[in-house]
A and B are shown apart, each in its own frame.
Chain A
Amino acid sequence: MPESTLLELANISAGYGGPKVLHDINISLSAGEFISVIGPNGAGKSTLFKTISGIVTPASGSIFYKGSNLLEVEASRRAHLGLAHVPEGRQVFPSMSVLENLELGAYVDKTGVEFRQTFEKIVSWFPVLGERQQQLAGTLSGGEQQMLAIGRGLAANPDILMLDEPSMGLAPTIADEIFERLIEIHKTTRLSIILVEQRVAEALHFASRAYVLEAGRIILSGNPAELQNDDRIRQAYLGM
């Protein structure tokens, strides 16, 4: 494994009990990279993240993170190692305030000392979070919740940020705004990012490398510019 590879999935097959959702997945991520995983619905994208986060245990295959076997680490310990997961559908803590949600994002940091600084940075990227600090997360709009979820993911200064369909259910303009912030964040922090998206164009536009997932298998991978015009993507999504 080359020096800078941060995360490597090899031959991962996983499912929820019975039939497998993912078949023989191979993905690698280097430090500082921004990669995308795209694919139509039901392709298994969320399952992929859940497997990395430990909610789902793979039936076969291995995951290596910073050189050691991630599968030996229990799910709730993985965040402590620098993996941040921004789940599908935001999943904020609805009855807690914006500030508390962010504090929880930094849960792995026991003393909370660094949090103050990180908080300032998060607010600089998403000012609305600073304005609505005390507001209950459940009352925020969809776009605001998404920003909160991303901020929460960033709060612990993770090494890898995994974003699961951040544009889902959001109006296109808001989704665009969020993507732009993500790019900024990536440029300034050089954080490694894995973006899972249904919307092809955005995902390809920002990433340096992309994988296309369909029916649980990687059917294409490589440089977004090449993939952009590949007819197989069009077929996978639109059927003709």
Chain B
Amino acid sequence: MSVSGVRKDFLHIALFGLVYIVLAALVSNSYYLLIMTIVPVWAVMGLSWNLFSGYSGLISFGHAAFFGLGAYLVALCMVVWELNPWITIPLATLAGGVSGLLVGIPTFRLRGHYFALAMLAYPLALLYIFEWLGYQEVALPMNREAPLMYMQFENPFYYVLLGLLLLLFTLVITTLISHSRLGMSLLAIKLDEDAAEAVGINTLYWKLVAITISAALAGAAGGFYAVVLLVVTPLAVFGMLVSAQALIFAMFGGVGTLWGPVLGAIILVPLSEILYARYAADFPGIQGVIYGVAIIAVILFAPEGILWKVRSLLRPGQFRMLGSSASVADFSADESLLAVTHDDRNETILEVSDLSKAYGGLQATDALSFKVRQGELLGIIGPNGAGKTTLFNLLNGFVKPDKGSIHFQNKALLNLRPNRICAMGIARTFQVAKPFTHLSVLDNVIVGAYVHTSSRQAAGQIASAAIALVGLEQQCDLPGANLTNKELRLMELARALASKPSLILVDEILAGLDPEAMQEMLVVLQKVRALGITIVIIEHSMQAMVQLVDRFVVLDHGALLAQGSPEEIVKNPAVIEAYLGKKWLENA
């Protein structure tokens, strides 16, 4: 399926290339040919931006840095060492990639606004540095003796050809990525970074890979741009307009799609160039105004880009889906794929010792100690505000404790990131469901399966097994956002199961379900348990819990109040007081 999806995209790419070349051959006006050369350059920039920001959701305002570095590399190499562009453009690509990596490592520690600001600063800093270094204007020398060597053609058609080749190359790379584990991981990160971490995606690693590739492409675009324009100035390659353009073409056309940035470039570049040429004398700055207006219009009326807007108009009501799956579910896949074996039934699988965490003045977790036995179904209960979800956040790696330790299968979990913890065998569902909204149910679960395998085949099989277990076969092509409450929770469970855990932390999976749905869910949980997976579940609905669990741990104000079997707990005076109040106890 994914293979056919890729093939389909390749076909489209080839078709596009063909049409473009034919068009270029028919056009004889050299100015138009120049535009046809510049369009691919900006399309590549747009695609490179899209690859990183469109897929990961981290907005980069600094792609000009990579573009400019590529441009200057090619220009300076030609001026100083007389290296020809056939060598230097690939070098520029490499340089772009390396600088992307260097930028990513420190900057990814930042989130949200700070990240955007930092990215903005890089190209501007480079701009000033290059100005200071004296490279106000670097002109590429003309080389009449060996024009082919130096990429200097009499006939502008060849420039178009080269530009197109660069674009096709980028399109192919983007296609490959979008169908791969990288693409899926990036989308997951964009849609919900926390959920992605919990499901085992090493978010830092994938972000770095993405920015490296993206920056490499930007560097290539910059290098080629230098060859086409024959003059490089700091403002032209490092200026804010460059970063803005990368962004605008991608956004205008359609974020996260293959053809969006191309569409954006095809529409906007000729528009602005032609308007500039005709009106620049009377209206200086018209380019900027056009781009500015375009971007404002897009944000207000079609925030995801024209491509999506058109699609939603043509097929109203159809949800915007990312990711690449059509149904590949192979439901003959065996549930035993998910089974977990135990050596000793009574061995402790998870041990919490003296765990404490305070938020400001509030002690959320207070010297908590308890053990979880392999294969058991443990319920964590307590009145509202007792610190149950905080406990899960601590176990899962989202929050660092102030004191105390956690051991899973005799290995310490302190200071490990959530994705590591997932890889070790602890999975989790969330109190407020965190689906990857724009991915299909199948894709949602496949994301979970990737933690132990890189092969799409294998991942698909595991995912199918998980979906079959929870009973969501019918829904597997629906987008994550269109599910009912019950289906959402089943999907989160399937996603957690796909990472083949030994222990699942289930956070209020029954909340908001009507009695029928609750029963269904309980049956599924029993099935999970039958596979040998240990379950720790937080719930409020006591009616359901007493039927389900082996043991209870009761929390109050973050501390352990009581533990024991359901019968013991319900009669325990301290518990009754915590839930219903002292006066109830007096009256009872």
Contacts and interface: CB of A to CB of B under 8 A. Distances in A.
Decide if A and B touch, CB cutoff 8 A. yes
Interface of A: 18-19, 21, 40-42, 138-139, 141-142, 165, 168-169, 171-172, 198-202, 205, 215, 228-229, 234-240
Nearest to A138: B360
6 contacts: A169-B385, A201-B583, A228-B584, A237-B580, A239-B543, A239-B570
Contacts of A165: 384
A238 B579 CA distance: 8
Nearest to B575: A238
Contacts of B384: 41, 165, 168, 198
**Which of B384, B576, B583: most chain A Cβ within 10 A?**
B384
A239 B514 CA distance: 16
Residue of B512, B544, B585, B587 most packed against chain A (CB within 10 A) = B512
Given A19-B485, A168-B385, A239-B545, 6 more contacts: A42-B508, A42-B511, A201-B581, A202-B581, A239-B541, A240-B546
B407 interface: no
Interface centre among A165, A201, A215 (most CB of B within 10 A): A201
Given A21-B512, A138-B360, A142-B362, A200 B580 contact: yes
A142 to B, nearest CB: 7
A18 B585 CA distance: 39
B554 to A, nearest CB: 12
Contacts of B508: 42
A27 to B, nearest CB: 21
B351 to A, nearest CB: 27
B383 interface: yes
A198 B582 CA distance: 13
B557 interface: yes
Given A42-B508, A201-B583, A201-B587, A240 B541 contact: no
A177 B478 CA distance: 52
A195 to B, nearest CB: 13
A172 B579 CA distance: 12
Interface in B526-571: 540-546, 557, 570
B406 to A, nearest CB: 24
Contact of B583 (A19, A138, A205): A205
A240 to B, nearest CB: 6
A236 B580 CA distance: 11
Nearest to A165: B384
Contacts of B576: 238
Contacts of B474: none
B361 interface: yes
A56 B183 CA distance: 37
B484 interface: yes
Given A165-B384, A171-B557, A198-B384, A40 B540 contact: yes
Contacts of A19: 484-485, 512
A228 B546 contact: no
A215 B540 CA distance: 11
Candidate in A42, A139, A205, A234 with the most chain B CB atoms within 10 angstroms: A42
Contacts of A42: 508, 511-512, 540-541
Contacts, number: 77
B21 to A, nearest CB: 49
Contacts of A215: 512, 514
A240 B514 CA distance: 18
Contacts of A139: 361
A199 B384 CA distance: 10
Contacts of B545: 239
Given A42-B540, A138-B360, A169-B362, A237 B579 contact: yes
A240 B587 contact: no
B512 to A, nearest CB: 6
Contacts of A238: 542, 570, 576, 579-580
Interface string B314-333: 00000000000000000000
B569 to A, nearest CB: 9
A168 B587 CA distance: 22
A41 B540 contact: yes
A168 B585 CA distance: 19
Contacts of B540: 40-42
A237 B570 CA distance: 10
A198 B383 contact: yes
A240 B568 CA distance: 12
Contact of B580 (A21, A41, A138, A201): A201
A240 B570 contact: yes
A18 B563 CA distance: 36
Nearest to B577: A172
Most buried by A among B484, B485, B580: B580
Nearest to B387: A169
Contacts of B579: 198-199, 237-238
A213 B205 CA distance: 48
B546 A199 contact: no
B485 A200 contact: no
Contacts of A172: 582
A174 to B, nearest CB: 12
A15 to B, nearest CB: 9
A105 to B, nearest CB: 22
B361 A142 contact: yes
Nearest to A203: B581
A215 B517 CA distance: 13
B130 to A, nearest CB: 43
Contacts of A237: 542, 579-580
Contacts of B583: 201-202, 205
Contacts of B544: 239
Nearest to A41: B540
Query: Which 3 residue pairs spanning A and B have beta carbons closest together?
Result: A239-B542, A201-B581, A201-B583
Nearest to A172: B582
Nearest to B558: A169
B541 A40 contact: yes
A234 B575 CA distance: 13
Contacts of A235: 543
Among A138, A205, A240, the most chain B Cβ lie within 10 Å of the Cβ of: A240
A141 B485 CA distance: 37
Nearest to A23: B514
A47 B580 CA distance: 21
A120 to B, nearest CB: 28
Nearest to A20: B512
A201 B582 contact: yes
B581 A229 contact: no
A236 B544 CA distance: 11
Nearest to A171: B557
Interface in B454-487: 484-485
Interface in B348-392: 360-362, 383-385
Nearest to B384: A41
Contacts of A200: 580-581, 584
Contacts of B587: 201, 228-229
A217 B113 CA distance: 42
Nearest to B508: A42
B131 to A, nearest CB: 42
A144 to B, nearest CB: 10
A167 to B, nearest CB: 9
Contacts of B541: 40, 42, 239
